[in-house]
Amino acid sequence: MKENIRKIQKKIEQHMHVSKGIEENWRQVWVQYRILYLILLIYIVTSAMLLEPFFAWSLRVLLKYKGYSYITTEMMADFFSSPVIWIGLLAMILVICTLTMLLQVFTYEYIVLIKRERQKSVRRAFLRSLNFCIDAWRNRKIGIVLFIAGNAVFQNLVIILLAIRFVPDVWYIILAILKITGVRVGVVVGIIVLLIYYFLNFYTIAYMIYENREWNEARKMSRELFFSNKKNSVCGWGLRNLLNGLFLSGLFMVLITAIIGLIMVFVTRELRIAVFCTVQDHMYVLVLLLAVIFGFASQVNGNLCTFVQVRGSIAPITVYPGEKEKEPEFLKKRLLALLIFLLLGMDIVVTYDRIRNGGSVTLEHLGNLQITAHRGDSGNAPENTLPSVEKGIESAADYIEIDVQETLDGVVVLMHDSTLARTTGAKQSVSSLRYDQLKYLDAGEWFGPEFKGTPVPTLEEVLKICKGKCCLNIEIKGNKKTPDLEQHVVDLIHKYDFTRQCVVTSVYKSSLIKVKNYDPEIMTGYILSSAYGRYYLDKDIDFLSMRSTLVTERIVRLAHTYGKEVYVWTVNKKQEAIWLSQLGVDNIITDRPTYIRNVVYGKENNENRISLIKLILQ
Query: How far is Cα 203 from Cα 232, in angstroms, rounded to an integer?
Result: 13
Taking a C-beta distance cutoff of 8 angstroms, is the pair 200, 226 a contact? Answer: yes
Element of type H or E holding 153: helix 142-155
Instruction: Kindly report the number of other CB atoms within 10 A of residue 34's CB atom.
Output: 11
Query: How far is Cα 544 from Cα 9, in angstroms, rounded to an integer?
Result: 74
Q: For residue 172, what pLDDT is reported?
A: 55
Cα 190 off chain centre by = 26
79 pLDDT more than 60: yes
Which pLDDT tens digit goes with each residue over 136-181? Answer: 888 878 888 888 888 877 777 766 776 666 555 456 556 666 766 6
In angstroms, how far apart are the furthest CA atoms of the chain? 109
Which segments of 344-431 are extended strands (E)?
A: 370-374, 399-406, 412-414
Higher pLDDT, 439 or 38: 439
Q: DSSP labels for 409-461?
A: TS-EEE--SSBSHHHH---SBGGGS-HHHHTTS-SSTTT-GGGTTPPPPBHHH
Query: How far is Cα 197 from Cα 153, in angstroms, rounded to an integer?
Result: 13
- pTM (2 d.p.): 0.58
Which pLDDT tens digit goes with each residue over 569-581? Answer: 889 888 788 778 8
Q: For residue 322, what pLDDT is reported?
A: 46
Q: For residue 199, what pLDDT is reported?
A: 87
Which pLDDT tens digit goes with each residue over 277-289? Answer: 556 656 666 677 7
Query: How far is Cα 403 from Cα 315, in angstroms, rounded to an integer?
Result: 74
Which pLDDT tens digit goes with each residue over 446-473? Answer: 998 999 999 999 999 999 999 888 899 9
Instruction: Kindly report the number of other CB atoms within 10 A of residue 262's CB atom.
Output: 13
Query: How far is Cα 569 from Cα 475, in angstroms, rounded to an integer?
Result: 13
- What dihedral do alpha carbons 15, 20, 24, 30 form, nearest 10°? 70
Query: How far is Cα 164 from Cα 160, in angstroms, rounded to an integer?
Result: 6
**Helix %, strand %, coil % of the chain (to 5):** 65, 10, 25
Which pLDDT tens digit goes with each residue over 313-372? Answer: 454 454 444 444 444 444 445 655 665 566 556 655 554 555 455 544 333 443 468 899
Report how far apart the first and last C-alpha atoms of the chain are (Å, whole number).
57
51 pLDDT more than 70: no
For residue 3, what are the contacts with CB-CB under 8 A and spacing of at least 6?
A: none
Higher pLDDT, 1 or 400: 400
Give phi and psi for 474, each to the nearest 5.
Answer: -95, 110
Taking a C-beta distance cutoff of 8 angstroms, is the pair 105, 132 a contact? Answer: yes
413 pLDDT more than 90: yes
